[in-house]
Amino acid sequence: MNDLNDAFSHIGDIEFLVDELEKAIDKNDWTAVIDITSALTAYLPVFTAQYDRAHAIAWTQVVGQPEILN
């Protein structure tokens, strides 16, 4: 479960980038908007992959391996 907690804790990174994006939009700083949007676009697949792996591990530890039905 610790891996899942670690993965979930990275949501703060996304919140930070969204806050920065809002500030850039408010200031009409379109270069920053493009840069931050690129950062979010690059980061989100990495974040979700890490979270999915940690969730699968936690699920297996709590619930166990699913049995294949024949």
Better pLDDT: 5 or 31? 31
- If pLDDT is split at 50, 70 and 90, which confidence band does 67 have? low
- DSSP structure string for 21-43: HHHHHHTT-HHHHHHHHHHHHHH
Asked if pLDDT for residue 58 goes beyond 90, the answer is: no
Measured distance CA(45)–CA(52) in Å, rounded: 10
| Percent of the chain at pLDDT exceeding 90 | 47
pTM for the structure as a whole: 0.69
pLDDT class of 19 with cuts at 50, 70, 90? very high
Task: Read off the pLDDT of residues 25-45 as tens digits, 9 standing for 90 and up.
Answer: 999 999 999 999 999 999 999
